[in-house]
Amino acid sequence: MKNAAPDLRPDTVAAADAAAVQRALVVDLDDALIRSSLLWEALALFLRTRFLQLWRLPAWLLAGGGAFRRKLLHCAMPPAAALPYDRPLLAFLAEQRAQGRTLVLMSGARRGVADGVAAHLGLFGQVHAHEGGARGAQARARLLVELYGERGFDYVGAGKADRAVWRHCGSALSVSPRPLAIGDGRVTAPVGGARPRQGMALLKAMRPRQWLKNLLVFVPMLAGNELTLAAAWQSALAFVAFSLCASSAYLLNDTLDAGDDRAHRSKRHRPIAAGTLPIAVALGAAPLLVAAALLSSLLAGPLLALAVFTYFVSTTCYSLVLKRILMVDIVALAILYSMRILAGCAATAIEPSFWLLAFSFFFFLSLALLKRHSELHNLELLGKEKSAGRGYTTADKQPIGIMGINSAFLSVLIFILYFESQNALIRYQSPAWLAGIVPLLVFWLGRLWTLSWRGLVNEDPVLYVSRDRVSLAVCALCLALAVAASVAPWPGSSVEPALFGLG
């Protein structure tokens, strides 16, 4: 039987080595103190604030990796307060500082960046900046040995690249959950918070729960009374394509919004904002998901591929610019929702009706306004006035609510006019069944807005609906009535009731 692994937690190491307090504790900034890389954080900020200057990046790369890093950090360095710090590691460092230990911040970025982080945290007595990379680790090791002597310092690193430093330090500490061999029979002791697997973090960042929105691609099949296997297959392809494309958009959006999300009470837990998913992985996965979406959409025809591509371009524009403009973001969200219905039309070759497009626009406009109303309500509870990265203040809460309620019941009015129309008589066997949907819509929309005014609706209405039993029951009843209108005769008569003016 193998011997049990020794307890290598930092407090155990410190207790076993009384001289540790006398040694300087050096902490690497990249990937250790922060759960990210300064270079990728700067790249994300550059994409958000200087998207039209992307042409500069290849030119900087040609000048060499060091020049690229310096220029990028000079043009787009996130403020120290917006970086994803390892909070458990900060707590450990605070304990070490309270014991009188000297804390040293080591960074591969320019000195100004490291100084800003040190000033923000107020923990470090000394700051050293040195060129990063594999060679940089060896250079940092030489610098630290010159300053503190061989084994005269302890070092907190992130991974294998820091082995060159760990070989010369007293206690080797790592944010990696697994002990890493560094030579001479020594291994690193884990410190800081747990680092979850990137695969699970990536799946979470893709927001599979949000794929519920893409069920809208099945609406044209139901609204057009095309309940066939062929239409169902084409709609399913559209669902897969839009889910992949939407996940790509979420990765890009969360990368661009990482700084703002870290100041938000719930969004700070998103994988990219929390630092559990590296920005490099997110930006690498996004184009792959788009490519997969386009390839799957081609199975249903070029029109669906065009719809998917248009949706991706539109949502990218939303993430980069539109979401920060007052009211433009809300209209854009309503259009993005409606584009899913148009994609379902493109996949099944069902021509969209004016009634369907008008209803969907005002219905989703109401939900978009509900999302902003809920955000402003929560912002007001926190005592803040303006939302980060948005064009709204808490003073806008009431007009947003008024517009949202009006849009909700305007969509109900459009639906009433629809099932009274000749279009409904042609498409449905018994359109009178659709009348049952009207009170359900009034009840559901009225209930959502009332709960939003009370502050009981999550900032994402789709997530709230997916967890709310009442909402799910209403959706099921509406779907049942729509199917009944397609296939079931009106009870007791083969002729529609006269009250609908259709027979």
Q: What is the mean pLDDT of the chain?
A: 84
**Per-residue pLDDT at 291:** 95
Q: What is the pLDDT confidence band of residue 120, given thresholds at 50, 70 and 90?
A: very high
Q: What is the pLDDT confidence band of residue 497, given thresholds at 50, 70 and 90?
A: very low
Residue whose pair of structure tokens reads 């799910």 in the numeric block = 472
At 266-310, the pLDDT tens digits run 788 899 998 899 999 999 999 999 999 999 999 888 999 999 999
- For 72-91, b/e burial (b = at least 16 CB within 10 A) is bbeebbbebebbbbbeebbe
Q: Which amino acid is at 159?
A: G
CATH architecture label of 10-36+83-190: 3-Layer(aba) Sandwich (3.40)
Q: Which amino acid is at 161?
A: A
Cα distance from N-terminal residue to C-terminal residue, the chain = 86
**Per-residue pLDDT at 138:** 82
Q: What is the pLDDT confidence band of residue 378, given thresholds at 50, 70 and 90?
A: confident
CA distance 394 to 387: 8
Which residue, among 445, 413, 419, 422, has the nearest Cα to 433 in the 3D structure? 419
Helix axes 279-298, 38-49, angle to 10 degrees: 50
H helices of 51-102, in order, are: 56-62, 65-75, 87-98
pTM: 0.82
DSSP assignment of 292-307: HHHHHHHTT-HHHHHH
Contact 174, 180 (CB under 8 A): yes
CA distance 32 to 181: 18
Which residue, among 161, 179, 151, 195, has the nearest Cα to 28 in the 3D structure? 161
Contact 445, 412 (CB under 8 A): yes
**Per-residue pLDDT at 222:** 78
Q: Which amino acid is at 311?
A: Y
Count the Cβ atoms, other than its own, within 10 Å of residue 465.
19
CA distance 503 to 497: 7
CA distance 243 to 258: 22
Domain 198-500 class, CATH top level: mainly alpha
CA distance 298 to 311: 15
CA distance 447 to 456: 11
Backbone φ and ψ for 325, nearest 5 degrees, come out as: -110, 130
Residue whose pair of structure tokens reads 């009843």 in the numeric block = 477
Q: What is the pLDDT confidence band of residue 474, given thresholds at 50, 70 and 90?
A: very high
Residue whose pair of structure tokens reads 């070989």 in the numeric block = 167
Residue whose pair of structure tokens reads 């990728």 in the numeric block = 40
DSSP assignment of 156-176: EE-SGGGHHHHTTSSSEEESS
At 47-77, the pLDDT tens digits run 888 888 888 888 888 887 778 888 888 888 8
DSSP assignment of 219-282: HHHHHTT---HHHHHHHHHHHHHHHHHHHHHHHHHHHHTHHHHTTSTTGGGSHHHHTSS-HHHH
Q: What is the pLDDT confidence band of residue 488, given thresholds at 50, 70 and 90?
A: low
The two three-digit tokens of residue 471, written as one number: 């909402």
Helix/strand number for the chain, H first, E second: 22, 8
| Helix, strand, or coil (residue 63) | coil
**Of the listed ranges 280-284, 445-449, 480-484, the one predicted with least confidence:** 480-484
Task: Say if strands 186-187 and 189-190 run parallel, antiparallel, or are unpaired.
Answer: unpaired
Q: Where in the chain is the domain with CATH 3.40.50.1000?
A: 10-36+83-190
The two three-digit tokens of residue 77, written as one number: 């360095």
Residue whose pair of structure tokens reads 């009374």 in the numeric block = 225
Residue whose pair of structure tokens reads 């900034």 in the numeric block = 29
CA distance 186 to 450: 62
At 243-269, the pLDDT tens digits run 999 999 999 999 998 888 888 777 888
Count the Cβ atoms, other than its own, within 10 Å of residue 126.
13
* CB neighbour class for 383 (10 Å; exposed up to 12, middle 13-18, buried from 19): exposed
Q: Where in the chain is the domain with CATH 1.10.600?
A: 198-500
Give strand pairing partners of 181: 187
Backbone φ and ψ for 438, nearest 5 degrees, come out as: -60, -55
The two three-digit tokens of residue 70, written as one number: 């310096």
Residue 2 has pLDDT above 50, yes or no: no
At 154-204, the pLDDT tens digits run 999 888 888 888 988 888 888 888 888 887 778 888 888 877 778 889 999
Contact 401, 448 (CB under 8 A): no
CA angle 447, 450, 455 (to 5 degrees): 120
Mean pLDDT of the 319-342 span: 90
